[in-house]
Amino acid sequence: MASFTGLTEKLKHIFAKLTRSGKLTEVEIKSAMREVKLALLEADVNFLVVKEFINKVSEKASGETVMQSLTPGQQVIKIVHEELTALLGKTNEKLVVSSKPPSVYMMVGLQGAGKTTFCGKFAYMLKGQGKRVLLVACDVYRPAAIPQLRVGAKTAGVEVYDEGQGNPVKIAANGLKHAIKNGFDTVIIDTAGRLHINEELMKELVNIKKEVNPTEILLTVDAMTGQDAVNVAKEFNDKLDITGVLLTKLDGDTRGGAALSIRRVTGKPIKFCGVGEKIGDIEAFHPERIASRILGMGDVLTVIEKAKDMVSEKEMKQMEQKFRENTFTLEDFLVQFDNVKKMGNIDELLAGMGGMMGKNISAAGRLDERQMARNKAIIQSMTPFERRNPDEIKANRKKRIAAGSGTSIQEVNALLKQFDQSRQLIKQFGGSKMMKKGMKF
């Protein structure tokens, strides 16, 4: 997630100094906490939240157990990780599902926060979980709102209920009746936004809430607006008693302060976040994983979940067998390139896997779309024998493969080296275990 890049780099620099010290003094810990405080404030984290966070970390970090530890720097990082996780909400809070269908999710937020787009992503995710989803168009004021919702619905493969320019409260009620009559088990209501919060907007939302009795009221906020997002969340919560927050544009060039402040200020959990522009770029918000990302520790579990979404159970079993029997070939490597491409940006994936994985497969970390295309061309220029027996690819074969793929011998060598590193990694970590967890290389 690009949103935490600046904060992550600053924290890594601060903690690098701590871990270089054999022992830590109170002065060194206080100095580090001052730097952490500044880094959080620069990331647009709420001042009161920062103050409370620093006090908690400082109190624990100055304890005798840490001061006398053989690895005090690591102990401090552990404390920061624990407090960051607590600040973000400790654990992921699941979406509430009504015991009597349909479950009704009322989406609220300011204009421009990405609410209508998120409705499509949300519907796509729920449909993937086996739900029969109906989108209800209650934003009758913004001219592009209903067409935009229809586009999102078409991409997600779900239906839309709309009455054009009518009364939003009646449309919401009629949409719910339509859902019940036609067997939909999930209803997502896209309400109107405004450029800023006003009494007219809130009155309309309160009336919709009374009419449909939503299972959840989910507030969409733009992570790129920083501290303003927190203020918006507080006002919506005061008026509507929201049940959760959806953070959009968490992949954008933002400082991440909203994510670190909203839970503490509103007392309501962040449930999902948008991490890209594609329909499937939506993730459950896991506080511990986000804390790990912020501290540069990676987020292997999210990468694994993405792999599971993109690769069938049959493919997993076939690949597991190849790993177990040590028959993984360049033909299989070609398939893995396609699987990784489906999962998104390679650099972001490797960043999510943390430093350990980055060191083991550093060549992959430098791949871009063009390099991936060249690598595929190299493998496709090989004979079936060469793909299945890469150790037999000597100088003359490399020369022919390079010419056939429009690349250089150096690039052919780099690909073969990368393939060999992947095989070694599989052996090192145990192919069977990796496949059971859904890991792909």
Half-sphere exposure of 160 (CA within 13 A, CB side): 23
- Which residue in 173, 134, 165 sits closest to 147, CA to CA? 165
Work out the average pLDDT over 383-391.
90
One domain, residues 190 and 114: yes
Rounded Cα distance between 74 and 388, Å, is 45
The answer to whether residue 362 sits within a structural domain is: yes
Instruction: Return the pLDDT at 329.
Output: 83
Q: What is the pLDDT averaged over residues 64-68?
A: 67
Residue 382 lies in a domain: yes
Start-to-end Cα distance in the chain: 21
For residues 415 and 349, what is the distance between their CA atoms, to the nearest angstrom? 19
- Position 102 confidence tier, pLDDT thresholds 50, 70, 90: very high
Cis before 143 (ω within 30): no
Q: Report the 10 Å Cβ neighbour count for 273.
A: 24
Q: Average pLDDT of 249-254? A: 65
User: What does the angle CA 222 – CA 228 – CA 234 come to, to the nearest 5 degrees?
Assistant: 95
> Are residue 174 and residue 234 in the same domain, yes or no?
yes
Q: How many helices and strands, by DSSP H and E, does the chain display?
A: 22, 8
Q: Would you say 363 and 372 are in contact if contact means Cβ atoms under 8 Å apart? A: no
Residues of the chain with pLDDT > 70, as a percent, come to 78
Spatial strand order in the sheet of 133-138 = 159-161, 133-138, 186-191, 103-108, 216-222, 244-248, 270-274, 282-284
**Hey, what are 184's tokens?**
């939909």
Number of domains forming the structure of the chain? 3
Cα dihedral sign for 18, 23, 29, 31?
negative
Nearest by Cα to 15 from 26, 4, 31: 31
Shared domain check, 414 and 325: yes
Q: Do both 351 and 330 map to the same domain? A: yes
Domain membership of residue 94 (yes or no) is no
Residue type, 406: G
Whether residues 257 and 118 fall in one domain: yes
Q: Please state the rounded mean pLDDT for residues 84-97.
A: 90
Strands 270-274 and 282-284 come out as antiparallel
Last residue of a domain, one of 43, 65, 88: 88
Residues 79, 118, single domain; the answer is no
127 touches 133 (CB < 8 A): yes
DSSP, collapsed to helix, strand or coil, labels residue 199 as: helix
Q: Are residues 360 and 294 in the same domain?
A: no
> Are 229 and 337 within one domain?
no
Alpha helix positions (H), 46-144: 47-61, 64-67, 72-88, 115-128
DSSP state letters, 375-404: HHHHHHTS-HHHHH-GGG--HHHHHHHHHH
Residue 378, domain CATH: 1.10.260.30
* Single residue among 88, 115, 130 that ends a domain in this structure: 88
Q: Which residue has the higher pLDDT, 243 or 391?
A: 243
Query: Three-state SS for 255?
Result: coil
Residue 186 lies in a domain: yes
83 phi and psi angles, rounded to 5 deg: -70, -35
404 with 316, same domain? yes
Residue ranges making up the domain that contains 354: 310-436
- Domain CATH number, residue 263: 3.40.50.300
**Same domain (yes/no): 130, 243:** yes
d(CA 69, CA 66): 5
> How many alpha carbons lie under 13 Å from residue 173 in its C-beta half-sphere?
10
Written as six digits, the tokens of 278 are 């594609």
The CA distances from residue 400 to 333, 381, 407, 408, 420, in Å, are 20, 8, 10, 10, 20
| Mean confidence (pLDDT) of the chain | 81
Query: Would residue 93 count as lying in a domain?
Result: no
**DSSP designation for 93:** P
Q: What is the mean pLDDT of residues 195-207?
A: 87
Q: What is the mean pLDDT of residues 296-309?
A: 55
- Residue 95 forms part of a structural domain: no
Domain's final residue, options 39, 58, 88 = 88
Same domain, residue pair 286 and 165: yes
110 shares its domain with 233: yes
**Residue 398, domain member (yes or no):** yes
> What is the per-residue pLDDT across 120-153, written as a single tens digit (0 to 9) for each?
999 999 999 999 999 999 999 998 999 999 999 9
